[in-house]
Structure 1
């Protein structure tokens, strides 16, 4: 036994279990072979068995997240999994595996060909762990989903992984969120995407990525026809980064989800991004919450989408933007043509009240079987086809239309958009 093994005690969350036992009718208990293999490996390594593993024997999904497996527990588990062909998804998040425990698992994966999904998030892997995983990817493995979130990976770790993935087309989903990757590492990942024909989903949420990474990713999207989801929330791409991605969207035809939440995307950046949306026919989900956007930027994005007849956008998240009346009106118009469009936004009660003013105005005359055009004509004594706003204001109050002062002023502003102090009522048609 390795001398270091004797120093390690069973980690918190590990429970001793007798294994998968059956009664042969004589009162004697017999464990199944997989259970016996695992318990023998635990005795050999000196770690306590994890009862949850024994309970999940034979299942395709092995969930050991947050069980405190530790590096020796990983060694015992790796020994057992060498001969376990039932498991296809191995969940080991938050188990203090460290680089040593990860090495045991990667060696096992060179033999076990059934495991396709591996979650090693939050296991204190650091650079050494990234090197071990990169070596596994460079040699051979069947892992298609690889989750490595929260492992303190830096730019050097990102480079190791990127270099390995340049020749690995097996991995389809890669999660590197919540790490310490800056632009140097981000550029390596971007360059990797330009040559990788396998990855479908890339999650780089909550790193320290900036404009250089965005430029590399943008360049990759122009030649990469496999990536479908790119998650970049909680970074610092800024306007220049939005421009790079906007330009990429003009050419890319495979990306269906782009998450740019909290990336310093302002109104100018939104306009740059909108240039790509104006022609893109693939993107279905765009997330932009928690950015310094105003209703101006949100409106430019919505207009780019609505004016693009080939747009595939179904969901846009600008939920932290308090929009104005013109945005709401544009959205209502867009939904008439595309009922499935979901745009998450915030709206103040005053905006909702103003938007309802026009509907109340029309409803008031409809309930009285009166024509709005007749109402305007009655105010147009000289037949000029227009009515002074002061006359309109007074007439609405006298008719007891249920509108407050702010709603009336909003109506006037809407009817007299050029601020001429008169309403050309011939431009309005009765609502259907």
Structure 2
């Protein structure tokens, strides 16, 4: 089995061992030597005799015998038929319990749930890729009804489906503790989204919800949009890599228009495009909470960027905007940058258009923008030859700075008649004779920059680039 930690222990009961539980130390020592062996009822298998009731007799005996958490866990494993995981025994005092890809299965989840029912140390529980299915999830949800410490839960990639979503929804209806839940990669459809949306309408505790990489379409997006309009707790919502398309995305943006708490909205690869951008622009004009918006890998083109900028022109809270892998050209990139530059109250600090091939004008405008916005970070794509050319002016300036000389003095030395201009040929010759480290291509670019009108003359007194 791929990506499984080799950290579980298989203990087989014989007639003598059935009377005596293995000691913690023996399990730990075996855990460092043995490979994983799954018994019946472990990863990917069900156990007909299992119920969602967590064994109360274990707690009764643990209190009577004053058992440690490790002993409670081993007793639970023996009673449920689960394979003990030595990693759990070694990390019982950790606030973060990382059990990603341990292949627990439904029975392993049950034993863990029995342990965590009264164990109040763990606050962050990672259970990605454990084939828990709906059955294993039932045990964990029953545990969460009594556990008062766990605030973050990762159940991604566990084959939960609709039944798993229904189980989680029942827990969320009464949730007052869980603040973050990751439910990505669980084959959730519109029906699953509807269950979760209904449960989250009145939930005030959950702050982060990840439903990415599922099969949620328009109908599910509409239900989640209604939820977003009514929920006053969620701050981070990830719906990337679903199939929301026009209706689903429009419903979410409509919900965002009413919502007053959402800070991060991730809709990467969700079918987001021009038809919904106009609505988003209207929301951004008035929204004062959203700080991160991810629209990467969608259908946002130059015209959609122009519409989006209608909202960005007055928005004062958005800090991160991700638009990579959209059909945006250098025209859209320039429109976006000009809007950010002109909005003096814009909070944007990071813009990702890393798939957009920009031009020299864009880079020059970015340098101008950074004069007043030094913290602004942009990811973009530029041809290596253009990037090298753009270094030419910096090299030219640095050469004279290192020599403690003035660029103006350099030009004046070429201007024997004091006309405040020199020929481009004289400039080329003087640069080469001064051994300024520019190659032929960079020198040609610098000449074109200084002689924008192609007059073969550089009017150096008007060169703002040298100030």
With the length of structure 1 as denominator, give the TM-score of the two structures: 0.84
2:141 and 2:238 map into 1 onto residues whose CA distance is 22
Indicate whether 1:142 and 2:173 are aligned: no
Structure 1 counterpart of 2:9, from 15, 20, 32: 15
Deviation (angstroms), 1:169: 1.3
Structure 1, gaps ≥5 residues long: 1-10, 23-29
Post-superposition CA distance 1:192-235 (Å, at most 9, x none)? 11111000111112222222233222222222121111112222
**2:234 pairs with 1:231:** no
362 and 371 in structure 1: CA distance in 2 versus 1, 3 angstrom threshold: farther
1:352 aligned residue (377, 384, 387): 387
Question: 1:59 Cα deviation (Å)?
Answer: 2.8
In structure 2, the residue matched to 1:52 is: 87
Q: Helix, strand or coil for the counterpart of 1:282? A: coil
Distance 1:421 1:296 in 2: 29
- SS across alignment from 1:62: strand
- The whole-number CA distance in structure 1 between the counterparts of 2:465 and 2:90 is 70
Query: Does 1:179 pair with 2:214?
Result: yes
Can you list the C-alpha shifts for 1:43-94, whole angstroms capped at 9, x where unaligned?
A: 2222222222222223322222111111111122222222212222221111
RMSD: 3.0
Please give the secondary structure, in 1, of the residue aligned with 2:354: strand
Within 5 A, what are the aligned runs for 1:411-430? 411=446, 414=449, 427-429=462-464
Aligned residue among 204, 207, 217 for 1:169:
204
Would the aligned equivalents of 1:67 and 1:95 in 2 still touch at CA under 8 Å?
yes
Aligned equivalents of 1:158, 1:379: Cα separation in 2: 79
Structure 2 residues not aligned, in runs of 5+: 12-21, 27-64
Cα shift at 1:33: 2.9
Residue 394 of structure 1, aligned match among 407, 425, 430: 425
Using the TM superposition, give the Cα deviation of residue 127 of structure 1 relative to its aligned residue in structure 2, in angstroms: 0.8
Q: Is the 8 A contact 2:425 2:456 kept in 1?
A: no
Determine whether 1:283 maps to 2:290. Answer: no
Q: Give me the whole-angstrom Cα distance separating, in 2, the residues matched to 1:31 and 1:94.
A: 34
Distance apart, 1:241 and its partner CA:
3.2
SS in 2 for 1:250: helix
Per-residue CA deviation, residues 293-316 of structure 1 (Å, 9 max, x unaligned), is 222212211111111111111111
Deviation at 1:430, TM superposition (A): 7.2
Counterpart position of 1:298: 333
2:371 corresponds in structure 1 to 336
Contact conserved, 1:354 with 1:407, CA < 8 A, in 2? yes
Q: Which position in structure 2 is the counterpart of 1:267? A: 302
SS of the residue corresponding to residue 222 of structure 1 reads: helix
How far is the alpha carbon of 1:165 from its aligned partner?
Answer: 0.5
Aligned partners of 2:176 and 2:204 also within 8 Å: no
Determine the C-alpha separation between the residues in 1 that align with 2:214 and 2:398. 56
Name 2:37's counterpart in structure 1: none
Aligned residue among 171, 179, 195 for 1:160:
195
Q: Tell me which of 159, 163, 167 is aligned to 1:128.
A: 163
Whether the 8 Å contact between 1:217 and 1:245 is mirrored in structure 2 is no
Residues 145-195 of structure 1: CA distance to partner in whole angstroms, max 9, x if unpaired? Answer: 101111000111111111111111111110111111122212221221111
Measure, in 1, the Cα distance between the counterparts of 2:151 and 2:388.
54
